[in-house]
Amino acid sequence: MGSLLVHITHGPEAPTRAALGLLVARSAVEAGHDVTVFLAGDAAYLVKDAVIEHTIGVGTGALSDSFPALVDAGVPIFISRSSSGSRGVTEDDLAGKGASLNAGRARGAHVRGGQSPLLLRSTSPSQSRPLGYVERITGGPS
């Protein structure tokens, strides 16, 4: 199976988008892929217990289902240090979640030369911002 880096940039202000990224990660883990999650921007809030408990996406599920499933599966979760600092996310928020603060190296460590990202974009013409993206990373022939 392949490896995926799921980069999420939306937080509780866009619950469907936030939950979609975690649902993609959870589905990939359940399909046998190696998954890493990188949270940046408002997605840094997604490690806070109150946010996990109360964020539910329309058609994309609840964070309270997806987040623990990723933790239980041992999925590494990296949070942008600058995004978390400006949003009040602390080391205490990361406890027990397999998460760590990162200075932006998580993406670079998982991207191999010549690979293009698999973009997840809204199908609504009024939405110009990407939902986030998943970069497909392969370890060679399978």
Number of domains in the chain: 1
d(CA 74, CA 138): 19
| Residue 25, in any domain of the structure | yes
**Residue in 101, 34, 29, 39 with CA at minimum distance from that of residue 65:** 29
CATH number of the domain encompassing residue 23: 3.40.1260.10
- Whether the pTM exceeds 0.85: the reply is no
| Residue 43, in any domain of the structure | yes
108: which 2 tokens?
Answer: 């670079």
Query: 23-77, pLDDT tens digit by residue?
Result: 999 999 999 999 999 999 999 999 999 999 999 999 999 999 999 999 999 999 9
| Residue 55, in any domain of the structure | yes
> Residue 109 pLDDT > 90, yes or no?
no
| Residue 92, in any domain of the structure | yes
Give the side-chain half-sphere CA count within 13 A for 121.
11
User: What's the domain range around 36?
Assistant: 3-137
Task: Return the pLDDT at 98.
Answer: 85
| Residue 142, in any domain of the structure | no
Task: Return the pLDDT at 133.
Answer: 42
d(CA 45, CA 41): 8
Position 103 confidence tier, pLDDT thresholds 50, 70, 90:
low
